[in-house]
Copies of this chain bind each other. A is one copy, B any other.
Amino acid sequence: MGLSILVGVVSPYYRINFMTYCLAIALQEGLVFCSDSRTNAGADRVSTYSKMHRFEHAGDRQLVLLTAGNLATSQAVVAQMQRDAENGVEGNYTQAAYVSEVADYVGKLCLAEQSKYANGGPNAGFNAEATFILGGQIGNHAPELYLIYPEGNHITVSGEHPFLQIGETKYGKPILDRIIRSETEPHTAMRCALVSVDSTMRSNATVGPPIECGFYRKDSLEPLSSYVKLEENHPYLVRLRKSWDESLINAFSGLPSLAEVFE
Contacts and interface: CB of A to CB of B under 8 A. Distances in A.
A259 interface: yes
A245 interface: yes
A195 B251 CA distance: 11
Contact of A179 (B203, B252, B262): B252
Contact of A239 (B170, B175, B248, B256): B256
Interface residues on A, range: 35 or more
A226 B257 CA distance: 13
Contacts of A239: 256
Interface stretch (A91-99, A156-164, A184-192): A184-192
A155 to B, nearest CB: 14
Contacts of A230: 261
Contacts of A16: 13-14
A141 interface: no
Given A187-B257, A250-B251, 5 more contacts: A14-B18, A190-B258, A236-B256, A247-B250, A248-B248
Interface of A: 13-14, 16, 18, 127, 129, 170-171, 173-175, 177-179, 187, 190-192, 194-195, 199, 202-204, 226, 228, 230, 236, 239-240, 243-245, 247-252, 254-262
19 contacts: A14-B14, A170-B170, A170-B171, A170-B204, A171-B171, A171-B173, A174-B199, A174-B248, A175-B248, A175-B252, A177-B203, A191-B252, A191-B255, A191-B257, A192-B252, A194-B258, A228-B258, A228-B261, A250-B251
